[in-house]
Amino acid sequence: MAIIRTGHRYIDIESGKVIDSWFPQSNSNQNRSCLAEKVGLIRGEFFEITIKSVEEKPLSTEEIYLRLHLISERTVKPNEINLDGIFNLLPNVAWTSAGPVFPHKVDALRSLVAREYHHLTVPSIDKFPRMTDYVIPSGVRIADADRVRLGAHLAAGTTVMHEGFINFNAGTLGESMVEGRITPGVIVGKNSDIGAGASIMGTLSGGGKQKNSIGERSLLGANAGIGISLGDECIVEAGLYVTAGTKVKTPEGDVVAARELSGKSGLLFRRNSQTGAVEVIPTDSSRWGGLNTALHNND
């Protein structure tokens, strides 16, 4: 089914190149304004765009922005939409307190907005803006908005603490605590907890094709990490990084590569404190207690 949206884009006046695009959820002509536009470095205009199929490869900056919006609006889930060529279609942008401009225009912008008694700050130079400047999903808490990119998928009941980070084409599918890093291609199931400093290998790691995930009611401990998927009711103890090739001792005494356990439920991965060997034993979410339901009632 085709998707038709009305958007507003900023264009660099000198080059005529598109800087960014915003698609209000009302799907109407909603204007934006900023000092960079007032002083003549960029201009804004309304436009309409059609995506015939989210499975087709995107062809423009505007189309990539719409696809990122669709993920953050929860219209589609991560990995359900084609983002091929995203890094070639998104320009590097200086995201400033006076509006978005190309990085080589920052000095000119600083001089021009000084007349407006504006002290220019540049929080980021990147291809991706903050999600919250474009989409505000309902029922979530985000302690530091700089750490959630446009294209992140945050289900209602998600809490992202100060050290939590969610990249584009990644996110949560239900109530979750995020204090670690959720990288592209990774999805986290309902009632799971990504501990402080923890990380999950995504599609930008290694060959870029492995799509790892975490199931429901699972815990990735503080400063832990995985290069495999976890099923439901799983735990990785704090500080343990389990890659696909990690040798793991099973309860039966066998030693297998962790990839053979990828996606299986009811497993606790831990390191034996005496031998240093990585072990796996049966477990369930009662071992770590689960999420605090009051904390994730975010409306």
What average pLDDT is seen over the chain? 94
Per-residue pLDDT reduced to its tens digit, 89-104: 999 999 999 999 999 9
**Six token digits for residue 269:** 């991965």
Residues near 47 by Cβ (< 8 Å), separated by ≥ 6? 6, 7, 8, 9, 21, 62
Cβ contact 23:55 at 8 Å: no
Any catalytic annotation for residue 45?
A: no
Q: Band the pLDDT of 291: cuts 50, 70, 90.
A: confident
Per-residue pLDDT reduced to its tens digit, 228-238: 999 999 999 99
Cβ contact 105:41 at 8 Å: yes
**Cα separation, 23 vs 71, whole angstroms:** 12
Does 66 score more than 80 pLDDT?
A: yes
Q: Band the pLDDT of 16: cuts 50, 70, 90.
A: very high
Q: What is the pLDDT of residue 1?
A: 73
- Tally of residues, the chain: 299
Per-residue pLDDT reduced to its tens digit, 100-151: 999 999 999 999 999 999 999 999 999 999 999 999 999 999 999 999 999 9
pLDDT > 70 in the chain, percent: 97
Q: Band the pLDDT of 289: cuts 50, 70, 90.
A: confident
Residue 270 pairs in a beta bridge with 279
2 burial (CB, 10 Å; 0-12 / 13-18 / 19+) is exposed
Per-residue pLDDT reduced to its tens digit, 167-202: 999 999 999 999 999 999 999 999 999 999 999 998
Q: 54-68, 76-90, 161-175, 204-218: which range is least confident on average?
A: 204-218
Q: Band the pLDDT of 299: cuts 50, 70, 90.
A: low
Q: What is the pLDDT of residue 63?
A: 97
**Whole-prediction pTM value?**
0.94
Alpha helices in 155-215 (DSSP H): none
Report which residue type is found at 228.
I
Q: Band the pLDDT of 59: cuts 50, 70, 90.
A: very high
The one catalytic residue in 62, 179, 216, 233 is 179
β-strands 93-96, 158-160: how paired? unpaired
Q: Band the pLDDT of 288: cuts 50, 70, 90.
A: confident
Q: What is the pLDDT of residue 298?
A: 67
Cβ contact 225:208 at 8 Å: no
pLDDT > 90 in the chain, percent: 90
Higher pLDDT, 122 or 206: 122
Q: What is the pLDDT of residue 287?
A: 83
Q: What is the pLDDT of residue 128?
A: 98
